[in-house]
Amino acid sequence: MRNRWKGWLGFPDDSGDPIQSAPDPHSVLPEDEIHRDESGDAIAKAVGKLPLRQQQAFLLRIWEGLDVAATAKAMGCSQGSVKTHLSRAMASLRRQLQEYR
């Protein structure tokens, strides 16, 4: 009862509730945030080194999540070309990002 009165009067709750003081399991540690930023920079740099059509295929299919047909329509090419460009882009990105690790 005493803690309830403290709360109503604006005093801090010193009950030491373990649930209130528990860390958020979904929070990101600062070092993980830095690593994620560095990884994102490395991916952006690697994508920027790809030829234009490979960049388009990768960004539309992987980044934007379009299916092969929609990507082909957006790129103005066949579905086979999309698959070829994406395959080459993925192989190149794997090579480039392997060096990053």
Mean per-residue pLDDT pooled into runs of 10, the chain (101 residues): 55 61 71 72 91 96 95 97 96 86 59
pTM given for the model:
0.64
**Which residues 6+ apart lie within 8 Å of 22 measured at CB?**
none
How many Cβ atoms sit within 10 Å of the Cβ of residue 90?
A: 16
Pair of tokens at residue 29 = 């540690």
Residue 3 has a pLDDT of 55
Q: Which amino acid is at 83?
A: K
